[in-house]
Structure formats: structure tokens, C-alpha cells
Amino acid sequence: MFLAVDLALIIEKLALIVVVVMVSLVIAMYTTFAERKVAAILQDRRGPNRAGPFGLLQPLADGLKLFFKEEIIPNFSSKFLFIMGPALAMLTAVMTSAVIPWGDTVHMFGRDISLQIADINIGILYVFGVVSLGVYGIMVGSWASNNKFSLLGGLRAASQIISYELAMGISLIALLMVTGTLSLKEMVVQQQQGGWGGLLGWNILKQPLGFLIFLICAFAECNRTPFDLPEAENELIGGYHTEYSSMKLGFYLFSEYINMFISSVIMATLFFGGYDIPFVDESQHGAAFNAIFGIIALMMKVSFFIFLFMWVRWTIPRFRYDQLMHLGWRILIPLALFNMLATGAFILYFNK
């Protein structure tokens, strides 16, 4: 009996892993299409419209092009590390999804199945641990390329990500003071219990400054404009992935879009109720309804953040590197510290 239960749990988790990874890859693939369409709308042009109806097969065409392009590994590169760089970037991008609660529990095959791969009580620490490893994919690839422009891009990426991770972490300390938990699932459950249809429970109302700091740092962590200095083509040719081609380059580009998707999911989960459906009392509906419409609600919130990433990219010009560091160290970190201290003082005063 014990072995049967364990086997069922293993099959359930493996199926969930496959679904989450495949959905993340498909969403990342079509996010590239959405970005080109958003850019076209903002620049008053059509965008991709030839491959398939409304251009919907364009991501498949781009993927096939990358697959069939000649794969070049420079003779002067460190070949093993050259291959490991994009693999690490892709692996860390996908691993973050393991602790995200994608929806409520659903009853299937006589079992209560949680739509979360791993509900660990230190979920947010796991996210930070995996995200901090992502810089190694860029650093290893840039160093292994044995190209000075790639190395400069890798150094920029490392200093940028480390700098903005500090502000992001400090901004989350204030949120953890308010919620009292490190579990992403528990944070969503707490936010569902607010008034006015659940909206008053969302953490964005409790930590608006923390959310703003987190949002800015998410742009920097994903190397998105105006923080795309590691791949600034006007200064570094192509940055850390200058020497890459074929699917190795595709892995680097894909990992950026997966990171953007996962960052949007985390922001929706931490500050906007996750899979919480506003003005709907989940206790009045069945598990299947809550699971399906909870996933839809989460994806709608994520879509808004993805659009915001794209909108900013095609609106705001790139920073200079000294401006990027000034913003991180002299503005965001002091603001995050102030927010943490103010939150602590507020909690102490009202919990006397």
C-alpha cells in the first residue's frame, strides 16, 4: 500500500513537471511573437503576418530556423563550458517554476492533486537561490567564448544581477514581515481572505513601495530594456552571447523569455493574489471550477505584466552603465531599507 501511494505521487509530480515545463516553453515561444506584435503596434506597422494565419506560425518558423542553422563552436573557446553556459541559463530559468502555486487543489482519479510541484515552506528562498544561479549561465558562457566583448557583457550581467538582487531581497523582507510566511501557497491563501471581493487582501495594498522596487529589479534580473546592458549591441556587438549560434543562442534567448514569464508569475503571486479570483467566493464552488478559473485568473495577471515588460522595452531608451549602478545602489537599496524599517515600525506599533 505504501509503495502504491508513493508510485501514484511520483507519477502525479512527474506529469505536473512535464506539463509546467512544456507550458512554460510554449508561452515563452509565443511571447516572442507577442513582443513583435506589440512592437509593431507601438511603431505603427504590421509585425509578423505571413507564416500561418495572422502570423501565428512565426515562432515555429523561427525555432526551425535556429535548429537548422550551422552550429559553430569557436576553436579558441573552452568547448565544455561553452556548451554548459546556455544549458545552465535554460535549466535555472525552468527550475524556478517548481514552487509556484498554479491553481487550487483539484480532485482527479480519486486523489486530491495540488497544482504545485513542490509546496515547500521556504518557497521564496528557493526562488532566490535558483535565480541567483542564473548569472552563472551568462558568466560561464561569456568567459568560455574567449571574446573580450562577451566577457565584458558577462561582467556587466554579474554586477547588474548581484546589485539588483540586493534591493529585491530587501524589498521582500518587508513583505515577509507582513505575511509571516515564506510559502508561496500560504501567501496566496492569505490574500484570498481580504474584503471587497478579496481585493483588500492583496499584498500590493500592504506593500506598494515594495512592489515598485521588486518590479524595477525584475526588469534588471531579466536583462530587459532599459537594463539590457549585458547585450548592448551598439557597445558589445551582441554582448555575452556574441559567439553563439543555432540552438545555443536559442537557449539564451529562450531563457530570457522564460525568466520574464516566471517573474510575472511571481509578481502576480506575491502581490496580486496569485490564482485568487476577485469577487468570487471560492468556498461556494467546486474544486474543478476553482482550479480552472484560478489558472485563468493567474494567466490574465501574468499577461498584464508581460505586456508591461514589452511596453517598457519599446518605449524607454537604454541606461548608461553608471546610471544603472547609481539607480541600484544609491536609490533602490536605500528605498528598500527605508521600506523594511517603516514596515517593522508599523507592525511593532500596531501589535503592542
Other C-beta atoms within 10 Å of 342: how many?
A: 12
Pick the more confident residue, 348 or 233: 348
Question: pLDDT tens digits for 16-33?
Answer: 888 888 888 888 888 989
* pLDDT mean across residues, the chain: 84
Compute how many other C-beta atoms are within 10 angstroms of the C-beta atom of residue 262: 25
User: Which residue, among 48, 75, 61, 242, has the nearest Cα to 156 in the 3D structure?
Assistant: 242
**Mean pLDDT of all residues in 193-209:** 82
Task: Give per-residue pLDDT as tens, 275-313.
Answer: 888 877 766 767 777 788 888 889 999 999 999 999 998
- Tens of pLDDT, residue by residue over 262-276, are 999 999 999 998 888
DSSP secondary structure code for residue 242 in this structure: T
C-alpha cell at 270: 506575491
The model's pTM: 0.88
For 15-54, b/e burial (b = at least 16 CB within 10 A) is ebeeebbeebbebbbebbbbbbbbebeeeeeebbeeeeee
Q: Return the pLDDT at 233.
A: 66
Q: For residue 200, is pLDDT > 70?
A: yes
